[in-house]
Amino acid sequence: MSFFIKKRGSAAPGKGEKTAGSNRKADQSGKGRSKKLNKRLNEEISSESENENVEVQTRKRKDMEEDEIEETPQEKKLRLAKLYLEQLKDEEEKKAEDEEFESDLIAGRLQEDVLEQKGKLQRLIAKELVAPDPAEIRLLRGHKLAVTCLVITLDEKYIFSASKDCSIIKWEVESGKKVQKIARGSKQTDEQHVGHTAHILCMAISSDGKYLATGDMNKLIMIWEAATCKHLYKFTGHRDAVSGLAFRRGTHDLYSASHDRSVKVWNVDENSYVETLFGHQDAITGLDCLGRERCVTSGGRDRTVRVWKIAEETQLVFHGHQSSIDCVQLINEEHMVSGGDDGSVAVWSVGKKKPLSTVRRAHGLHGNTGLEEPNWISSVAALHNSDTVASGASGSHNSTVQLWKCGPGFRGLEPLFSVPVAGFVNSLKFSNTGRFLVAGVGQEHRLGRWWRIKEAKNGLYIIPLKRQNKETNVEQ
């Protein structure tokens, strides 16, 4: 029995006590068991979620199969037909809305065209205009003598100007830089270079921007390619200085007026003369036209404005100024504005022989006390189909560009604001959209040399026209 009795504390290693190696093995085996347990739990969780997804998908598939079983082929066709009809209905409604919107736009345009043809279109924008900041007015210089005339392209990118120095300059509006220059011509270099050899008094550009026409004191009309300034034709026939030119809008029919008291019609496409109209009793000083086959002229010293109906070869005579009428411009097909050396600005209707409204001494007086005279109105301009016109005056001490608001029905002229400039304002033109107004200024009057303003600068003034929104009271 004693052989089987063991002493306390003498247990064999690995049974009573654990060695370091056995401890490590135990720890490792414990970690392994925990990893296996976690893995088994994860597998059980994922398998349960997968089983749930499978059950959901199976249930949906069964529901769809049951629906398919319950829906007969005829019912399916009916359902699809209804869906198709609803889709067609939505498309037709959308199409109808688009067509209605387009028709409203077309109707609006047609209505404007009808009003424009009748001369009743009057966009009321004058009340929105605000006086420009003097720092924003730009002066373009390049002519050596007085600027006599100018035109602006329909897209408002370029300005053409001409001068008593016989040159023509094409300007870029945005940068104010010269794009091209047609220098003065001479008989010796006529084959190499064609240009004017006398003072240029007038110019016009076709509505499509293809042709530029210029007229001079030497009875000549020159036709140029506006894009390249290349000379194309030379029209002869007037017996005195050519003082007015205008293209009929939408065509290449050119109307010219002269100091020989006649109006001539030309076809530029065919490089041909059409006819001559007579009626004025003195030198014609200005001419303008729009889309109709007719034009208006200012008769200078015969104190008349005349409307020429080209097709009928007839004319309407209007009286109202007290002295020479130096300039005239159409506001629309039925109304026009004129200015004279009596200092008055008048608005006319084709249907009435007397002015609808006249502003006497529109630009004030000049001279000594007791011998004061009105400042000459040397140019007028109109923003087409609107209630806004402008006039330019020439005086020794008060040369200005004045903007006016036409009253309802073109009755009455209300001054808006004036822009002071030094010199004779020989030409005025609004840009097509009314974003700016350009004034051609010189030291001398375009038609003569009665006196000279030495402090004036020969050039173009680009006057920005800002509009004020009534609701937000913010300038645009």
Handedness of CA 153, 150, 374, 129 (dihedral sign): positive
**What is residue 93's predicted lDDT score, i.e. its pLDDT?**
83
Cβ(171)–Cβ(178) under 8 Å? yes
Give residue 69's pLDDT band: very low, low, confident or very high (50, 70, 90). low
Class of domain 126-467: mainly beta
- The pLDDT > 70 percentage for the chain reads 76
Please state the pTM of the whole predicted model.
Answer: 0.74
Q: Which amino acid, residue 114? A: V
| pLDDT on residue 105 | 60
Q: Which of 411, 418, 410, 366 is nearest to 390 (CA)?
A: 418
What mean pLDDT value characterizes the chain?
83
pLDDT of 109: 59
Type of residue found at 327 = C
Q: Which amino acid is at 330?
A: L
Q: How far apart are CA 409 and CA 232, in angstroms?
A: 43
Give the count of alpha carbons within 13 A of 162, CB side only. Answer: 27
pLDDT digits (tens, 9 = 90+) for 135-168: 999 999 999 999 999 999 999 999 999 999 999 9
Radius of gyration of the chain (CA): 43
Whether residue 198 has pLDDT greater than 80? yes
Answer whether residue 222 shows pLDDT above 60: yes
Whether 204 contacts 254, CB under 8 Å? yes
298 and 336 in contact (C-beta within 8 Å)? no
Q: For 149, phi and psi rounded to 5 degrees?
A: -160, 160
- Would you list the domain boundaries of the chain? 73-118, 126-467
Q: Mean pLDDT throughout 226-241? A: 95
Does pLDDT of 281 surpass 60? yes
**What pLDDT, on a 0 to 100 scale, did the predictor assign at position 188?**
63
